[in-house]
Structure 1
Amino acid sequence: MTARNARTVRGRLAIAAALCASAALTAACSGGDAGPGADHREAGLVQSPPKPAPAGQPFWVDPNSPAAQQVKQWQANGRASDAEVLRRIADRPLAVWPAGDEPGWQIRAARDGAAKSGSTMVLVAYNIPHRDCGQHSAGGAHSEDFYRQWIGAFADNIEDKKAIVILEPDALPHVADGCTPAEYHEQRFRLMSEAVARLKKQKNTKVYLDAGNPDWIRNPGDLAQPLWRAGIAQADGFALNVSNFQPTAENIAYGKKLSALVGNKHFVIDTSRNGNGPLPGRGGEAWCNPPGRALGAAPTTRTGEKLVDAFLWIKRPGESDGQCRGGPPAGKWWPEYALGLARNSK
């Protein structure tokens, strides 16, 4: 991972197969390659019924997220005070990252839960061929045709329910920074523009193309052409700061500049872990499980900015960025790191 990248959408999880081996977890496993937002459930923990979205909060809260399950476990094991702090994550809406070759089962679970609570699900489509330049989250669809199939199944399972889709984190910034080889650029633009068109056939689905963060592609002009080529004209806008730590104010300023270059499109910002901003310094592994970070602004559509449609928790707080600073494999739930994020939040 390059220093310019400084991203945290990390990891194909080796733990997926082990989790799926448990009969108790069969319904929670796709049998495929798990993405950074995969919702891996701890064995033996109780499932909860859906609950209505809190007032003023329109997005779906998964009552059985790893954080929610951890709260129950700590309550049962005498860690009630820690459990209460962790509710700062458990009671918030988190994006769902459907993983593996069949995205439908996770989308159906989110769809049905959101329908019962009258809320909007937030989904991340993350399966572009040649994903992450062969680095930490290498993988993705093995062919153009398979990607079309996959995104078609993704869209079909949304049905007519309300959804926000963040389309392909890293894909366009990796074109802009030169990490993705030039021979794959045209394929990427083609598949992403087709994905936008396919997803927009779902009448209540909004689509935002990932556009990195202000500390990655410093000049927003470098992203304008990739966004146009990838279908921004048909999309609802773009997403900033996915899995990163850049302050909200900096994202807003950057987003306004980028918006002016792409038809004044609106944007959303990932505020899941930017409460204390990024770890000082750009070198090394500043992006990987940095200490002292905090939860950012809670998900909401009340952003106070005309061009900012929502603050979202796209990265799922508490899921590891990788095996650094004592962390587990990328994407695996790390309760003590989650607790630190929650304790540090205002």
Structure 2
Amino acid sequence: HRDCGQHSAGGAPDAAAYESWIGSFADGIGDAKAVVILEPDAIPHVVDGCTPPELHEERYRLISGAIARLKQHPGVRVYLDAGNSAWISDPGKLAQTLRQAGVGEADGFALNVSNFQRTGEQLAYGRRLSDMLGGAHFVIDTSRNGNGPLTGAPNEVWCNPPGRALGEPPTTRTGEERADAFLWVKRPGESDGPCRGGPKAGAWWPDYALGLARRAG
């Protein structure tokens, strides 16, 4: 039930297939160092009601199992995706769901993945959520948030919005003790889906990439 059957629908056909895939993925990392942003949207879609209730417990089990499997590799840091401040208005409910999915065994949570919310707002939201999770650390996707989110467009503001720009370059110097890094998780130039003239989700879109770069500060 990935992406609630929307632009990025698909995923593993069942739990056993997912566990096998995660095992292969972890084995592929081996002894290398890596930062894994685990399952973007999976937990926020539980919180916002998009994922059917009968799938919640299985999702918690699979995600917590994935964290445990990845953490068998000492060089891997795992951050569980937590959406962004404009998506989940109740951080308390989000914190509870993150705990059920095993965030306490991860290295923290991730914010703003593939989104456009401004870094300062995500830092403030991250601190609130961290306070509810015992001081958990977090990372922020700054790949496309240089101009913030699109305003005045009621539908699909997240899908290839025009006029956006690259955000802060990746760094561990965030100025916030609990913010471990600003990362470009979403590769700038990858389409969000077949909207506003874009190709399918994940496909490279050179014109969009050039626009992001030209508008960067």
* Same fold? TM cut 0.5: yes
Matches within 5 A, 1:88-237: 130-237=1-108
Q: By how many angstroms is 1:282 displaced?
A: 5.7
For the residues of structure 1 that align with 2:161 and 2:89, how far apart are their CA atoms?
A: 21
Q: By how many angstroms is 1:162 displaced?
A: 0.8
1:207-251, Cα deviation, whole Å (9 max, x unpaired): 000000000001211211111011111100000000000000000
How many aligned residue pairs are there?
217
**Structure 1: tracts of 5 or more residues without a match:** 1-129
For the residues of structure 2 that align with 1:149 and 1:247, how far apart are their CA atoms?
A: 37
For the residues of structure 2 that align with 1:275 and 1:312, how far apart are their CA atoms?
A: 13
**Matching residue's letter, 2:216:** S
Matches within 5 A, 1:55-70: none
Matches within 5 A, 1:4-83: none
Give the counterpart of 2:125 among 254, 259, 266.
Answer: 254
Say which structure, 1 or 2, has more relative contact order (CA 8 Å, 6+ apart): 1
**Once superposed, which parts of structure 1, at least 4 consecutive aligned residues long, lie more than 2 Å away?**
none
For the residues of structure 2 that align with 1:138 and 1:330, how far apart are their CA atoms?
A: 10
Give the counterpart of 1:291 among 153, 158, 162.
Answer: 162
**Matching residue's letter, 2:193:** G
RMSD over aligned CA atoms reads 0.9
**Aligned twin of 1:241:** 112
1:136-163, Cα deviation, whole Å (9 max, x unpaired): 1111111111111110111111111111
Q: TM-score, normalised by structure 2?
A: 0.98
For the residues of structure 2 that align with 1:212 and 1:176, how far apart are their CA atoms?
A: 10
1:106-128, Cα deviation, whole Å (9 max, x unpaired): xxxxxxxxxxxxxxxxxxxxxxx
**Aligned twin of 2:194:** 323
**Matching residue's letter, 1:133:** C
Percentage of matched positions with identical amino acids: 69
For the residues of structure 2 that align with 1:323 and 1:146, how far apart are their CA atoms?
A: 28
For the residues of structure 2 that align with 1:131 and 1:324, how far apart are their CA atoms?
A: 19
**Matching residue's letter, 1:244:** N
**Matching residue's letter, 1:245:** F
